[in-house]
Chain A
Amino acid sequence: MKGFKIIVLAKQVPDTRNVGKDAMKANGTVNRAALPAVFNPEDLKALEQALRVKDNHPGSTVTILTMGPGRAAEIIREGLYRGADDGILITDRKFAGSDTLATSYAISLAIKKMAPYDIIFGGRQAIDGDTAQVGPQAAEKIGIPQITYCEEVISISKKNVRIKRRLERGVETVESPLPVLVTVHGSAPDCRSRNGKLLMKYKHAETVTEMQDNTDDYLALHDTRPYLNIQEWTVDDLNADEAWLGLSGSPTKVKKVTNVVFTAKESKVMGDKDEEIEELIKELLENHTIG
């Protein structure tokens, strides 16, 4: 048995978990520059699930697929340091303004281009949007089943995969034929750390764009070590219909954004004296707030 061909969907996201004071601009928009860019946490967990399948089935390969600006190649390197075999970055200005529908269209074209494959893992959702939509939407566009909220891959064979799912009020074990798209829940195990040897091996892995921008010349290195080339695909490589990309391919529009600020309303400030507390309790009893 020669193992499985595994794709991991990953996204580089601004770290919304630790938002500081300067994260929001005065006009209420997000100051992305003030937030560090990270490997989306649940996508890292998806990578771990993929690596576990690879551990148990020698000959398997793990390819990271991400979409974003040029710097998103950082998370492909991060994945390589942890055990992924290669990565593909889909990047093009024409993707700008994509909502989940347009994003899933582009991702689904890339996945189709990567065929044949056995299983696709991705995080349940990304912390910058929390929508949990791109996975199921991509599965629908490719025409394969989806298994959401995976906590553990119980078993996998060339025929099918058994997965334990985490639901809000319980767990479920399901079995699906391959290929299937699996989204991984936050309760799944954390991803392994970087491996020192892999870090050395892939330190200079770069996309063509990065190589052009880089002052150091690793071109010769890339010729002798082809695994250092991170593939970059644009709209042309995907044969995409541009009408379904970017703003024109995105049915949802943001009408308004409000920075969350405290809206002061009439509030009664009072002390903690006995009379005051008793007065309040009486009032609450009177208007049936408490019974």
Chain B
Amino acid sequence: MNNIFVYCEIEEGAVVDVSLELLTKGRKLADELKCELEAVVIGNEIKDIEKVIFPYGVDTLFLAQEDRLYPYLTLPHASIMTKLIKEEKPQIALFGATSIGRDIAPRIASALKCGLTADCTSLEIGEHVDKKQKQDYQNLLYQIRPAFGGNIIATIINPETRPQMATVREGVMKKEIFAPNYAGKVRKLEFSKYVDETDFVVKIIERHIEKKKIDIKHSHIIVSGGYGVGSKENFAMLFELADVLGGEVGGSRAAVDAGYIPHERQVGQTGITVRPHLYIACGISGAVQHRAGMEESAMIISINKDPNAPINNIADYAIIGDVGEVIPKMIKYYKKNAK
């Protein structure tokens, strides 16, 4: 009771990354709130799924397994979640801000008449004092998200309704094993108790899921270029640096719009959110929209001719210079000094 729920998404027999990121965050929140972390997996039967889930510090794994529950369908999944939440009364329920999470979470929130915050980039525990009502709330979930096209950051709370529901963007939280041998328990849900035949009115006729070819999100090092790189040809240098460092190449929206690199490499508000160990921003001025997608990087190096470029304010190292001169030097001295 009053625990933390994480709805885990399944794709081709595996738990997707954002769900594991949420379990990692959920464990931390559970420790802070002194409650338990509970995962819900709905899908076809997957062998040893608990061995993937428990190491993230999951105390209870709710399993609903039936062939017709995979691939995801809104109505049966929402029906199981809604009923389970009513029974278990978690204080928090988290979902990935994915095609699936953003489809199921509002449906559940509506059925439970609960507050739901979309696309959170950060979750914290905090208090709230309502001066008008003279009410003091402890241990609320602060749901922090960019709003208004990324121009403001809003902290949303649900003081009264439970669970406090949120969807969280992929890649903004770390994925970390809590304890390899963590002992949780499995609770299997009786399918017929939670799903009605009428929940299967929508049918999947065809489905094509492509493997993501370019994987910027999981790269520890990202060399990213902006409009200031100047041309598609100049981007070759960025690829070379990324290659020697073992990283990937990203770009700002301006670079994508200019046709320097494809959209699938775009970092920022309308692209991918990344948090690599090292982010090298080349010729990127640092617009708000770009920053929203990379400011969580552990270390930021900016290379920019303009000493007043806003990116320099968030960079750990701001190299004032020409991208075309600095990058070859970086490659040179890396090769010289790396073992």
A28 to B153, CA, bound (A): 10
Q: Which residues of B sit under 8 angstroms from A270, Cβ to Cβ? A: 317-320
Residues of chain A from 99 to 146 with CB closer than 8 A to chain B in the complex: 99-101, 104, 127-141, 145-146
Which listed segment binds A: B38-46, B56-64, B104-112, B254-262? B104-112
- Selected contact of A146 from candidates B107, B128, B204, B329, CB within 8 Å: B107
CA distance in complex: A200, B186 (Å): 66
Q: Contact between A169 and B210 (Cβ–Cβ < 8 Å)?
A: yes
Contact status of A285 and B338, CB under 8 A, knowing A16-B148, A133-B116: yes
Nearest B-chain residue to A24, judged by Cβ: B151
Interface assignment of B212: CB less than 8 Å from any CB of chain A: yes
State how many residues of chain A have any CB contact under 8 Å with chain B.
Answer: 78
**B322 in the interface (beta carbon within 8 A):** yes
Query: Are A267's CB and B151's CB within 8 A?
Result: no
Q: Quick one: which of B71, B149, B337 contacts A278, CB cutoff 8 A?
A: B337
Q: How far is the CB of B149 from chain A (nearest CB, A)?
A: 3
CB nearest to A260 among chain B residues: B288
Q: A147 at the A/B interface (Cβ < 8 Å)? A: yes
The answer to the question of A226 belonging to the interface, with a C-beta cut-off of 8 Å to chain B, is no
Which residue of chain A is the closest to B118 with respect to CB atoms?
Answer: A131
Contact B320 A267 (CB under 8 A): no
B1 in the interface, Cβ–Cβ < 8 Å?
no
B185 contacts the other chain (CB 8 A): no
Is A280 interfacial (CB-CB < 8 Å)? yes
Do B204 and A258 touch across chains, with their CB atoms under 8 A apart? Answer: no
Whether, in the assembled complex, B310 has its beta carbon less than 8 Å from a beta carbon of chain A, the answer is: yes
Supposing A175-B203, A267-B318, A268-B317 touch, asked if A290 and B334 sit within 8 A by C-beta, the answer is yes
Binary flags per residue of B115-146, CB closer than 8 Å to A gives 1, else 0 = 11111000000001000000000000010001
A141 and B110: CB pair below 8 A?
yes
- List, sorted by A's number, 30 A–B pairs whose CB atoms are closer than 8 Å: A24-B152, A30-B152, A101-B115, A104-B110, A127-B149, A129-B118, A130-B119, A132-B102, A132-B106, A136-B74, A137-B110, A145-B75, A145-B202, A146-B107, A169-B211, A172-B208, A175-B202, A253-B156, A262-B314, A264-B313, A265-B316, A267-B316, A270-B317, A270-B320, A271-B320, A272-B326, A274-B329, A277-B319, A281-B330, A290-B278
